[in-house]
Amino acid sequence: MAKIIPFNAVRPTRDKVSLVASRSYQTYTQAEREARLDYNPFSFLHIVNPGYKYDREITGVERYQLVRNRYMEFKEDDIFIKDPSACYYVYKIVDRDNQEFNGIIAAASAEDYENNIIRKHEDTLAYKELIFKDYLKTVGFNAEPVLLTYPDNQVIETIIRKAQQERAEFEFTTTYRDTHYLWLIDNKDSIEIIQKEFEDMSTIYIADGHHRSASSYLLYKDEKSQNPNHSGKESYNYFMSYLIPESDLRIHEFNRLVKDLNGLTKEEFLIKLDTIYRIENRGKMPYKPSKKHHFSMYLDGEFYSLYLRKSLYSFESSLDALDAQILFKTILEPILGITDLRNDLRIMYSNGKKDVINVKSQVDSGDFAVGFGMVPVNINEMKQIADEGLKMPPKSTFIEPKLRSGVTIYEF
């Protein structure tokens, strides 16, 4: 029984939303950030990078407080305005490849996260959870929704499509050529129907935003323990989410790049691989695997296909059958000596949207010795791993859509 409720969003005014909305801070190059900060006074980057005003880097608690200050200035200047009533927000993205994503921005329950109604498939780092929890506690808002997915639901889809027949409250196109639309659902009957449909769902799944949801849960625990009058209705009991049906989710793979062969020659490396893989040299033409448990490899100017010898590898769980786990257990750890996928600087990741050509160019540059490609995880694999309480290796999925910060804001 999922608790997905409407909320009073703080939003940019219609005339400024395209100027405010930004990608995640880390996705910009330094030159891109500086250009936006120099020439766009309305960018949300001014809020999350408050040190720009003083021409210096500011970190820790001091930065969090300044983020809060910049946010309040945007509200004082009426760049941001809070909706007078609680709404669901229908959000649509049409990307440059004409892929369409339709869903609802709403508040999801931290208690549901605790009780495994909202299920996870990816590990998180405890120190990152704590850092972001402290950040949320100081700034008092969340500006980037967690991406959740739910089973396709005809009732919710009908309400979404009906809302989309009206003029959108927001419509803007980014420099990435993605077009974003937002509609408000403030009709009492529609709100009750949507809430009831989510209540009838026994589970929903985190698609993207595991650290953000974990940090929101830690904030909920802190605030609950410190509030003798806790009722369960306080804003800290929820976190902002973008919920889309499973059929709208797009899952891409993450390819692996490794800096060296762990002291092995090319020939020694291939011989070790031959123990558990059938290897075929595909030459210089780009090669991409087409089915599970098959991998591509780019090494010394040539592509190879690797076919797992299944008689030598056992599938004891859904995690064991995951290609990212197979690659780790058969090559990265035992042959290349990579035991810590999160922190080992010898391994890097390239999302599958960049394709094997990016893997080739990275290896050809000399920065990496070998690259591996795989097919994407599917939604059923992701759900099964979550249902079994298991966690995928890091960078197992690159999931779309990717949302903009600052379009809707949830205040604690």
Alpha-carbon gap, residue 337 to 404, rounded angstroms: 38
User: Residue 342: inside a domain, yes or no?
Assistant: yes
User: Residue 407: inside a domain, yes or no?
Assistant: yes
Give pLDDT, residue 53.
82
pLDDT digits (tens, 9 = 90+) for 397-407: 999 998 899 99
Does residue 233 sit in the same domain as residue 363? Answer: no
Range 243-257 average pLDDT: 95
Give pLDDT, residue 26.
81
Does residue 101 sit in the same domain as residue 236? Answer: yes
Give pLDDT, residue 58.
84
Does residue 140 sit in the same domain as residue 195? Answer: yes
Does residue 133 sit in the same domain as residue 277? Answer: no
CATH number of 367's domain: 3.30.1760
Confidence of residue 312 (pLDDT cuts 50, 70, 90): confident
Its pTM surpasses 0.85: yes
Give pLDDT, residue 351.
87
Does residue 12 sit in the same domain as residue 143? Answer: yes
pLDDT digits (tens, 9 = 90+) for 123-156: 887 889 999 999 999 999 999 999 999 999 999 9
User: Residue 383: inside a domain, yes or no?
Assistant: no
Closest CA to 145 of 400, 403, 385: 403
Q: How many other CB atoms sit within 10 Å of the CB of residue 320? A: 13
Q: Largest Cα–Cα distance in the chain?
A: 69
User: Residue 367: inside a domain, yes or no?
Assistant: yes
Alpha-carbon gap, residue 264 to 274, rounded angstroms: 14
Range 258-263 average pLDDT: 98
Alpha-carbon gap, residue 412 to 403, rounded angstroms: 20
Does residue 8 sit in the same domain as residue 38? Answer: yes
Does residue 188 sit in the same domain as residue 283? Answer: no
User: Residue 89: inside a domain, yes or no?
Assistant: yes
More confident residue, 83 or 52: 83
Give pLDDT, residue 274.
96
User: Residue 177: inside a domain, yes or no?
Assistant: yes
pLDDT digits (tens, 9 = 90+) for 71-119: 999 999 999 999 999 999 999 999 988 999 999 999 999 999 999 999 9
Closest CA to 79 of 404, 407, 411, 405: 407
Using the predicted structure, report yes or no on whether residue 314 has a pLDDT greater than 80. yes
Does residue 367 sit in the same domain as residue 291? Answer: yes
Using the predicted structure, report yes or no on whether residue 354 has a pLDDT greater than 80. no
Q: Are 152 and 245 in contact (CB under 8 A)?
A: yes
Using the predicted structure, report yes or no on whether residue 54 has a pLDDT greater than 90. no
Does residue 95 sit in the same domain as residue 171? Answer: yes
Residues 6 or more apart whose CB falls under 8 angstroms from that of 116 comprise: 203, 389
Share of the chain above pLDDT 90, in %: 86
Does residue 98 sit in the same domain as residue 210? Answer: yes
Residue span of the structural domain in which 145 resides = 4-251+400-411
How many domains does one find in the chain? 2
User: Residue 388: inside a domain, yes or no?
Assistant: no
Q: Which of 58-72, 147-161, 308-322 has the highest mean pLDDT?
A: 147-161
Does residue 84 sit in the same domain as residue 190? Answer: yes
Give pLDDT, residue 343.
82
Give pLDDT, residue 160.
98
Alpha-carbon gap, residue 224 to 345, rounded angstroms: 39
Does residue 170 sit in the same domain as residue 267? Answer: no
Residues 6 or more apart whose CB falls under 8 angstroms from that of 181 comprise: 91, 92, 93, 94, 164, 168, 170, 171
